[in-house]
Amino acid sequence: MKTIVAFSLLFVSSCTLQDDTSPCRSPQKISVDQRCYTGNGLALTASEYGTSPLSFEWSVYVLKDTAQSLGFTPQDLKIKINTADELIIPDSLVTNNQRLVVTVAANCQGELKRSIYYAFVKTQSTTDSCTIWQPQRGL
């Protein structure tokens, strides 16, 4: 009988511990595909958001230059879309612009939990002669 009680307590304890350590939360990271850009859209991925968000709400500002200010103008394009933890930015937007400012919110049972803002810039690879997108430092 003591063995069954000990096992039951251990089982209940581990279930409670799992729920406490990985609740649905704001995405802690947004990454960009840093391989040579081939013109098939640019993949952004949210990660470290805990368990089971219902969906993700992405906000992307598409900017023509790489200025490091957070100020956006009415001429800047803003994309707002609900989707999964990966978003593909269309080639038509990636080709003609130099910078993306992105935030994503995890829908945690109706409550949106937003990430911080991330910026990505288009640059030339130092090892290859290809275009790559990388995180902008100092946002």
| Whole-prediction pTM | 0.76
CATH number at residue 28: 2.60.40.10
Residue 7: inside a domain, yes or no? no
Domain span at 36: 23-135
What pLDDT sits at residue 129?
82
**Dist. CA 112–CA 98, nearest whole Å:** 29
Residue 10: inside a domain, yes or no? no
What pLDDT sits at residue 14?
37
What pLDDT sits at residue 4?
46
Residue 48: inside a domain, yes or no? yes
What pLDDT sits at residue 68?
56
Kindly write down the DSSP assignment for every residue of 72-125, as one continuous string: --TTSEEEEEEE-SEEEE-HHHHHT-SEEEEEEEEEETTEEEEPPPEEEEEEE-
* pLDDT by 10s per residue, the chain, length 139: 444 444 333 333 333 343 445 699 999 999 999 888 888 899 999 999 998 899 999 999 988 876 655 566 666 778 888 989 999 999 988 888 889 999 999 999 999 999 999 999 999 888 878 999 999 876 5
Residue 94: inside a domain, yes or no? yes
Q: Count structural domains, the chain.
A: 1
